[in-house]
Structure 1
Amino acid sequence: MKKRQILKILMIVIVFSFFTYSFTYFGATALSTQKDVEPIFSDHTFIGTIDVSNKTKEEAEALLEARWNEWSSNAAVALIHKEQAYSVSPESLTLLTDKTVSSASDGQQNELSVEMKSLTGILPDTISNRLNVEGLENGLTEAIQGFNENIVIELGRYLPQEEPIEVSSVSIKLSENNEEFLSFIKSFPTIDLEAESQFSLESFVKENELPELSDHTYSQIATAIYQAILPTNFLISERHISRELSENIEPGSEAKVQFNKRMDFRVYNPNASTYTIDFNWNSPYLEVTVKGEPFLYKYSIHTLDKQEFKPRTIKQFSPLLKAGQKSVIVEGSPGVIVKVVRETHTEEGELVKTEVLSEDFYPPVHRIEVHPLEAAPTVPESGTAAGEDTAVLPGAGDLNAQPDQSTGETSPGQDEGEDATDKEADMEEDGLFGKPNEEPK
């Protein structure tokens, strides 16, 4: 009897122990298996632009790796410092897949984690030694979030700010009676050329509600700015020139504006920092200075292929003059054509680039003489005397009349209406004065 009770108790203990062990072992295995098949990420979960909703960690990692490989095979990454671009291979960037997926939160937008390898050999030591590498890495990571295939990073954001210096200056001699011009530079001794933006003289005048000044004054301002920015990397968006050069202006250095004829002066600043143009009046010279961060390269301006064209002599005859008398109405001046070229050099003097900025043409101004009627020469059938480019006009008119020599404006970007006016004027002149070897009528 006693043995039976002991056996019963022993059987109960064995059965209970087996049940407890089975529940612990198989229950944990079942729960673990159930957990593995459940999605790790809930709905509306994104890593970068990749939707990982209802995906396991392994599935999310596979999606990210595939998208990263696709991006890196087509991506172009450039680091820009001033005027120089440095190409970075996507292989220099590593996607930290495990860190990215592990740190992702359910139901929200998550960022990629990217690591940048050393930039040795990509950037010069003068840049890399001062570079905020951590900031650049964060900037690259931010740019890659959308898997953009063309990424441009401005290194100036991750370098110590440089003190502004004088990058260009010019001294222009002005004629007397420049009250309007002096009034302008007194009100605006400094003009800002904002970073990566375009400056328009016409817009500047309108925005600041300046009093209406003459076209000549605004042309002087445009010319001063143009000459100052020529030896820089600024881009000339719009520029016009006159038919005749003004006093104290060399060919290739003029900028004419006439707002009522839609002739503006515009320049683009491609740099990541703002530059200023300072005006300083030191009679009779106007000193114009461009200040800002130092350029990576040095710029110089040259004029090439300059050619001059001799003016013709136009003879008129008048009964008001006596024999031996002669009156010169217009002295005349030669025409000229010239190319303006900008050269870019490294600090060591190596030529990087040569570009033609403009090709300016100023037609000759013909000399006009008035002779007495009885002094009219007889022109041989073969033409004028050897070596003389002369046209004879048998009519006369008022000796005091001054013919208008500025029949229009010429510029690379002038309006078609102005081109037509100039062509008509040339046709009228050819028809009126004839050719050098043509008999007088």
Structure 2
Amino acid sequence: MNNKLFGTTIAALLGSSVLFFGVTQAGTYVINDVIFASKEFGDQTYIGPFDVSNLPEEEAAVTVQTGVKGWYDKAQVKIKLQDAIVPFPLEVVEFNTDSTLTSAQDGAKNELQFDVAEESVGTFLNQQFAPFVFSDEEIASATEAIRIQLASGRNNQTIDISSALFASTTIEATVSNVTFDTIETSVGIQNLLLALDGYAINSLTTFSLLDFIETADVGIVTEQDLTTVASILYASVLQTNFGVDERSIGPTVPASVPLGFEATINRELGVDFVFTNPNSTTFTLNFNNVGTSLNASITGLPLIYSYQTTLSNQEEYSPKTIKQYSSFVNQNTIRLKIAGANGVQVTVIKTIMSGEDVLETINISKDFYPPVHKVEVHPLTVIETAPAEGSGDGTTTDGTGTTPDDGTTGSTDGSTSQPSTDNGNGTSDNGSSTGGSGSGNDSGTKNDPTSDDTDPEYDKGGNVIPPSK
């Protein structure tokens, strides 16, 4: 009996011990994992750019907070509205640790949660983007757009709020307006204007004139038609923040479009005019032709800045004269083959204005047109004739207009004396005088008034031609 009682007692004590241990363990589980549960993130878990894989929530919180503190120290955030980009003050942004951790999912890339005050964003917008006036709804939309973009935690980012602000607005303004005068409007130009008028340049898209005419029904157009339209389109684009990707000029100074704004087109060589709309809003091309005036404008949501184009450092270069010779040109005649024209160099300058303040001045291009040289065609040879005998005009057949002084010229009194030379025996070789009389000398008888011989003839070298017998 005692043994039975002992066994029963031992069994009761053992059962009680097991029950107590079980209850203790269960309580610890409930307290640690149910009541005060500690979350641990799984593999490949990121919060913003920070890796929290396999970290308990407490350690993950420390990792993220430390990383965000470093982000505040070096991050550069800018806000873009149409063509204006300005720095955004991070002092108005507050990191929300609790919201970030509780919304994070295992094995995923999670976002950082920031709190951005609408009041601070409204003050920022009104200060930086005047003369725009923003409604409460627009400020709320801009605030949400900023908060969403900051969630990535990138150090350097530009947040475009244009779409958020103008999603429901119908505001439209003329952002560019250009007129070319004295334009001879052809049928081809009219067809191009009709096809381009009202054409929409969508956000972040590129426009190519050659690609456009491949798809649009513009009929027959010449290279000059295309160049004229491309040029006024180029001048219009320069008055916006659009980027010019491709533009060329011709070999000579343009006659139909203003200097500095030519955009030549050559379909055979693939010479095109291309530009890009960098904004997140759409713009429309508009064209109008009245008489000899051609007008182009671009309309869309207003730009923050204004753009002005001017010409500077214009220089002219004189042409040279090139002489050519031809046997088909008459003597004493000069035929003008090419009249020639001055060359020109000019710099196109773009000035970006904020109200009355100059923000930036940019050299857009330096257009150089070389001079067209003058070309003259002269006769191949010049034939000069000798003067008539006895003319006494002193000219010779060598074309010099003067008689060489070789002592063999005729008499000064118009007589026809025959020149002679001294043969050394006191008599001249023609027997007309003797040495004793003093009528013979080294220079002949040019001063002998009694000579009645004819004037001598000379060759082109100035030598006497012996008289024929």
TM-score in terms of structure 2 length: 0.66
Partner SS state of residue 199, structure 2: strand
Partner of 1:383: none
Q: Could you tell me which of 273, 287, 291 is aligned with 2:299?
A: 291
Q: Distance in 1 between matches of 2:97 and 2:383?
A: 97
Stretches of structure 1 lacking an aligned partner (at least 5 in a row): 1-22, 378-441
Instruction: Give 1:319-338 correspondences, 5 Å limit.
Output: 320-322=328-330, 325-338=333-346
| CA-to-aligned-CA distance 1:29-88 (integer Å, 9 cap, x gap) | 773245477542564666445565665543342232123223323322111122322212
CA apart distance, 1:256: 0.9
Taking only the aligned residue pairs, the percentage that are identical comes to 25
| CA-to-aligned-CA distance 1:217-237 (integer Å, 9 cap, x gap) | 222221121122222222222
Indicate the structure whose relative CO is greater, using CA pairs within 8 Å and at least 6 residues apart.
1
| CA-to-aligned-CA distance 1:121-151 (integer Å, 9 cap, x gap) | 7443445844634333432333233322222
> Aligned in 2, Cα 1:136/1:41: closer, same or farther, shift over 3 Å?
farther
Partner of 2:360: 353
Instruction: Give 1:2-41 correspondences, 5 Å limit.
Output: 31-33=30-32, 35=34, 39-41=38-40
Partner of 2:145: 139
Give the conservation status (yes or no) of the 8 Å contact 1:193–1:276.
Answer: yes
Q: Distance in 2 between matches of 1:263 and 1:209?
A: 20
Give the conservation status (yes or no) of the 8 Å contact 1:86–1:123.
Answer: no
Give the conservation status (yes or no) of the 8 Å contact 2:306–2:353.
Answer: yes
Q: Distance in 2 between matches of 1:308 and 1:145?
A: 58
Partner of 1:158: 164
Letter in 2 for 1:270: P
> Aligned in 2, Cα 1:191/1:375: closer, same or farther, shift over 3 Å?
farther
Stretch of structure 1 that moved more, 187-196 or 74-83:
187-196
> Aligned in 2, Cα 1:26/1:270: closer, same or farther, shift over 3 Å?
closer
Q: Distance in 2 between matches of 1:56 and 1:305?
A: 69
Matched, 1:72 2:72: yes
| CA-to-aligned-CA distance 1:327-369 (integer Å, 9 cap, x gap) | 333222111111111111221x121111111111111112233
Q: Distance in 2 between matches of 1:78 and 1:180?
A: 46
Letter in 1 for 2:116: M
> Aligned in 2, Cα 1:36/1:42: closer, same or farther, shift over 3 Å?
farther
Give the conservation status (yes or no) of the 8 Å contact 1:173–1:286.
Answer: yes
Partner of 2:370: 363
Partner of 1:124: 126
Q: Distance in 2 between matches of 1:255 and 1:57?
A: 63
Give the conservation status (yes or no) of the 8 Å contact 1:317–1:376.
Answer: no
Q: Distance in 2 between matches of 1:159 and 1:372?
A: 77
> Aligned in 2, Cα 1:120/1:257: closer, same or farther, shift over 3 Å?
same
Letter in 1 for 2:75: A
Partner of 1:392: none
> Aligned in 2, Cα 1:176/1:64: closer, same or farther, shift over 3 Å?
closer
CA apart distance, 1:322: 4.8
Matched, 1:188 2:196: yes
Q: Distance in 1 between matches of 2:115 and 2:329?
A: 92
| CA-to-aligned-CA distance 1:369-424 (integer Å, 9 cap, x gap) | 345567799xxxxxxxxxxxxxxxxxxxxxxxxxxxxxxxxxxxxxxxxxxxxxxx
Q: Distance in 2 between matches of 1:233 and 1:214?
A: 30
> Aligned in 2, Cα 1:40/1:251: closer, same or farther, shift over 3 Å?
same
Matched, 1:149 2:155: yes
For the pair shown, the structure with the greater C-alpha radius of gyration is 2
Q: Distance in 1 between matches of 2:203 and 2:279?
A: 6
Stretch of structure 1 that moved more, 301-310 or 268-277:
268-277
Q: Which has the higher helix share?
A: 1
Q: Could you tell me which of 283, 298, 311 is aligned with 1:303?
A: 311
Q: Distance in 2 between matches of 1:107 and 1:189?
A: 53
Q: Distance in 2 between matches of 1:206 and 1:296?
A: 35
Give the conservation status (yes or no) of the 8 Å contact 1:115–1:137.
Answer: no
Partner of 2:229: 221
Instruction: Give 1:29-428 correspondences, 5 Å limit.
Output: 31-33=30-32, 35=34, 39-41=38-40, 43=42, 47-48=47-48, 56-104=56-104, 111-117=111-117, 118-119=120-121, 122-125=124-127, 126=130, 129-130=134-135, 132-160=138-166, 161=169, 163-173=171-181, 176=184, 178-208=186-216, 213-318=221-326, 320-322=328-330, 325-347=333-355, 349-372=356-379
> Aligned in 2, Cα 1:325/1:345: closer, same or farther, shift over 3 Å?
same
Partner SS state of residue 304, structure 2: coil
Partner SS state of residue 276, structure 1: strand
Partner SS state of residue 343, structure 1: strand
Give the conservation status (yes or no) of the 8 Å contact 2:141–2:165.
Answer: no
> Aligned in 2, Cα 1:301/1:25: closer, same or farther, shift over 3 Å?
same
Letter in 1 for 2:73: S
Give the conservation status (yes or no) of the 8 Å contact 1:202–1:259.
Answer: yes
Letter in 1 for 2:39: I
CA apart distance, 1:300: 1.4
Q: Distance in 1 between matches of 2:382 and 2:156?
A: 78
Q: Distance in 2 between matches of 1:78 and 1:237?
A: 25
CA apart distance, 1:275: 1.8
Letter in 2 for 1:170: V
